[in-house]
């Protein structure tokens, strides 16, 4: 059973360009989470999605950032008009959907975004 997959693993963008980060959850998982880790800091929650729905986006910056998890295909984290401060590691995690049970999250290897 393949783990959580993220691509690309490394992404370089110039200021003002768009960045698209992809996450394929583990097989059978319908919950996806995105976290950001700035250099030398801990992970910060960004957004929690279920298929076609955003459940919690309390950690998402108000502008330039968006996320989706379509019925078919991977979850996408999109950053428009990137700035140097967006340089970070972006981790995706997935979990099972079992009513009434808080399931552990399994993390992908991350995408390292560098903005020049």
Partner 1 sequence: DAKTTQPPSMDCAEGRAANLPCNHSTISGNEYVYWYRQIHSQGPQYIIHGLKNNETNEMASLIITEDRKSSTLILPHATLRDTAVYYCIVRVADGGSEKLVFGKGTKLTVNP
Residues that bind partner 1 (CB under 8 A): 4, 31, 33, 35, 42-45, 48, 55-56, 58-59, 89, 91, 93, 95, 100, 102, 104-110
Query: Is residue 86 within 8 Å of residue 77, measured between CB atoms?
Result: no
Nearer to partner 1 by Cβ, of 30 and 80: the residue is 30
For the CB of residue 94, give the shortest distance to partner 1 in the complex, in Å. Answer: 11
Smallest separation, CB 81 to partner 1 (Å) = 26
**Cβ atoms of 75 and 84 closer than 8 Å:** no
In the bound complex, what is the minimum distance in angstroms from residue 40's beta carbon to partner 1? 10
Rounded CA-CA distance 75/77 in Å is 7
> In the complex with partner 1, which residue's Cβ is closer, 14 or 98?
98
């Amino acid at each position: 059973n393949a783990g959580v997959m993220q691509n690309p693993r490394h992404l370089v963008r110039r200021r003002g360009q768009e960045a698209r980060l992809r996450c394929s959850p583990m097989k059978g998982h319908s919950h996806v989470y995105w976290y950001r880790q700035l250099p030398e800091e801990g992970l910060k929650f960004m957004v929690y999605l279920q298929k076609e729905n955003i459940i919690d986006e309390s950690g998402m910056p108000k502008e330039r950032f968006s996320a989706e998890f379509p019925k078919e295909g991977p979850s996408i984290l999109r950053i428009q008009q990137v700035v140097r401060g967006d340089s970070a590691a972006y981790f995706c995690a997935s979990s099972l959907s079992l009513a009434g049970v808080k399931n552990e999250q399994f993390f992908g290897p991350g995408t390292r975004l560098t903005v020049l």
